[in-house]
Amino acid sequence: MKSARPKVMHAIAGQPMIHYVLDSVRKAGSTRTVVVIGRDMADLAQAVAPHATAVQDPPRGTGDAVVAAKKALKTIVGDVVIVFGDTPFIEPKTITGLLAARRQPLSGGRFPSIAILGMRPREPREYGRIKLAPDGSVEAIVEYKDATPEERKIGLCNSGVMAVDGKHLFELLEQIEPANAQGEFYLTDIVKVARGINMPTVVVEGSPDEFMGIDSRSQLAVAEGLMQTRLRARAMAEGVTLVDPRSVTFSYDTRLGRDCIVEPNVVFGREVQVGANVLIKAFTHIEGASVEDDAVIGPFARLRPGARIGKGAHIGNFVEIKQSEVEAGAKVNHLSYIGDARVGRGANVGAGTITCNYDGFTKSRTEIGAGAFIGSNSALVAPVTIGDGAVIGAGSVIARDVAPGALALTRAEQKEIKGWAVRRRKERTPPKRPSLPRPTRAARPKAAKPARPRPQTKAARTVRPRKRAAAKRGRKR
């Protein structure tokens, strides 16, 4: 990933990819989960808490990673499911299906000790190949780097996910050897070990889309696109209209009510809850905010964390709301910043209004009462309270509380100086240059026309050579 951050901490739709895997494991019925991490990954250990973590140091392969979890697993009763933290699309039902296969008796009454998830991707590339025995059981899993050309032609590939009978897991792991091109302990080698002691392995085929691993930034971008497709489909299935679905970006936890309409180029960050029948206009960004029914948001609005928009409220173009409540029916329609404030029910905030909530050291609140009217281009210097029904004159700077029903304004007295603009223009306009008299047509000197050369006539052309010939003859005489 070319990153200082652990790979599984990179986010998809606003959530680290490891959390998708943990969520699927939990929904599949896990009673205990251990996350195997590398050294110096305290941030990852904190992110997966309260699940236990085990440190693999140094990293010596997938088999060694499972051995690292032995101490944290303690006594094992039941099955152990091994999944990878960089496969965020695995579904809970896929895990439960794998467990069902592990617990299903084979012909003869024996139970498989291992069940693995296989897949048939369109492009197998460097996946390990699953070799099947004539009876349909798994003979071996061959890693791509160790496979022969014939083995690489096998279409059934290993996803890496497996369920193992907990009674035999570590017994099998103790017998694997790093006899491969990488010198690592491969988890997949337990299949060959189990077969050698007459413990059968079965394979369950799943969708390749669920087992997409992420090893690069480009694959992370592909995964983001797949997740966004899922989230958009879910929103529309729940009764949301997306005017241009491909241009809307969701977070994994975005929740929209029925009959919401979302216009193009809207971004939802984490922790957004939107009620029913809400119109979210184009180019709006919402994160950490809640919006109640029948509200109108945007276009070009930004709701930051802590914004709570009441029923039927209007938040218009180029308005930013942060850590504030805009109560039912209130309107903040144009070019305003409302931070650390409460806008009362039915209040109207005019264009260009700002709450001056930060003095360089502390943040203070602004209280705008119900039904108050804030004139355009006003600055409310917190802490300040505007009473219910009060009116603030346009262009005012309000630094003291305003009583309910009062008018407050801080404009200077308007003055008018008659004729000032006319005099000013005369002073600033440069005088025009005097123009010279234009000569009349008779006074203009007549230009001499150049003489045209007269064309030679045929007679002239013929006479001249004769005269020259006669002159020559006279000189000879």
Report the catalytic residues.
334
Of 84, 100, 80, nearest in space to 163 by CA: 80
Cis peptide before 105 (omega within 30 of 0): no
| Cβ-contact 395, 369 below 8 angstroms | no
Strands 129-132 and 114-119: unpaired
